Amino acid sequence: MPVRATAVTHAPAKPNGAPKPSGATTATAPVKSKPVKPYRLKFAPQGKKYRFRAGAQQSIHGVKLLVEQRRSATTDQLLTQVGGWMQSVPARLLDGVDKVQVLRKHDRGLNSWVNKLQGSKGGIVEGLTRGAEITLFGATGTTFETFAHELAHTVPVSLKAWKAAARADDRVVGRMNRLGTLRQHFFGHEYLGNDQPRLTKGAVTVYGTTNRSEDIAESLRLLLSERHYGAAFASFQPDAGASHVRALAFAKIYPHRTALLEQASRSDLDGNGRINA
Minimal distance, residue 207 CB to Zn ion, in Å? 8
3-state secondary structure of 262: helix
Asked if 4 touches Zn ion (CB under 5 A), the answer is yes
Minimal distance, residue 134 CB to Zn ion, in Å? 11
Q: Which stretch binds Zn ion (CB under 5 A): 92-100, 162-170, 206-214, 234-242?
A: 206-214
The residue among 80 and 146 lying less far from Zn ion, judged by its C-beta, is 146
The residue among 75 and 101 lying less far from Zn ion, judged by its C-beta, is 101
Minimal distance, residue 150 CB to Zn ion, in Å? 7
SS3 content of the chain, % helix, strand, coil (to 5): 40, 20, 40
The one-letter amino acid at 249: A
The residue among 83 and 127 lying less far from Zn ion, judged by its C-beta, is 127
Q: End-to-end alpha-carbon separation of the chain, Å?
A: 29
Residues 211-230 that bind Zn ion (CB under 5 A): 214, 217
Residues written for the chain = 277
The residue among 150 and 270 lying less far from Zn ion, judged by its C-beta, is 150
Asked if 2 touches Zn ion (CB under 5 A), the answer is yes
Asked if 136 touches Zn ion (CB under 5 A), the answer is no
Q: Helical H runs in the chain?
A: 72-88, 108-118, 144-152, 159-179, 212-229, 250-253, 255-265
Size of residue set near Zn ion by CB under 5 A? 4
**Integer Cα distance of 276 and 258 in angstroms:** 7
Residue nearest to Zn ion (CB): 217
**Integer Cα distance of 129 and 152 in angstroms:** 9
The residue among 26 and 211 lying less far from Zn ion, judged by its C-beta, is 211
Asked if 114 touches Zn ion (CB under 5 A), the answer is no
Residue 272: count of CB within 10 angstroms of its CB: 12
Q: Which residues of this protein are in contact with Zn ion, per CB under 5 A?
A: 2, 4, 214, 217
